[in-house]
């Protein structure tokens, strides 16, 4: 079987300049300012804000990312706590659903078919 060739293309028409703001306690806000290929600001597209925080779990750090609305960094900062709490709740629900799915996918072999899924066994010698 031939492997598919992976080809990555950078989209020079969808560029953003990134600035990071932090409270040095619970997270960061990334301000993504749209720019043109020459580096000048692209006023035709909106500035985007992305909040980031993390949870400590038994498996390690779990990053949580979420969108923030607003025309400026001050508006994004005001929304941070509520948006972070909602994103954490949504993530916890997704984790609970994944656990439910994993638990329901456990297959128990049917012992009435002679051992593990009809592969023979069961303590009897069988001759062909």
pLDDT (0 to 100) of residue 59? 86
From residue 15, alpha-carbon distances to 12, 29, 34, 55, 127 in Å are 6, 18, 6, 30, 71
At 65 the three-state DSSP class reads strand
pTM score, whole prediction: 0.71
Which segments in the chain show pLDDT lower than 50?
A: none
Question: In degrees rounded to 5, what are phi and psi of residue 57?
Answer: -125, 170
Q: Any idea where the domains of the chain sit in the sequence? A: 15-104
Tell me the two tokens of residue 70.
């607003």
What percentage of the chain exceeds 90 in pLDDT?
65
Question: Measuring CA to CA, which residue among 76, 74, 80, 91 is closest to residue 25?
Answer: 80
Sheet order of strands, 28-35 included: 15-22, 28-35, 48-57, 60-68
Neighbours of 33 (CB within 10 A): 15
């Amino acid at each position: 079987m031939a492997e598919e060739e992976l080809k990555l293309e950078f989209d020079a028409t969808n560029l953003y300049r990134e600035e990071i703001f932090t409270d040095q306690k619970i997270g960061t806000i990334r301000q993504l300012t749209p720019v043109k290929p020459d580096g000048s600001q692209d006023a035709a597209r909106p500035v985007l804000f992305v909040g980031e925080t993390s949870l400590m779990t038994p498996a390690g750090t779990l990053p949580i990312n979420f969108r923030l609305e607003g025309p400026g960094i001050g508006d994004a900062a005001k929304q941070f706590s509520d948006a972070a709490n909602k994103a954490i709740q949504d993530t916890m629900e997704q984790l609970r659903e994944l656990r439910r799915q994993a638990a329901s996918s456990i297959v128990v072999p049917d012992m009435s078919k002679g051992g593990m899924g009809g592969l023979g066994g069961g303590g009897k010698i069988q001759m062909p």
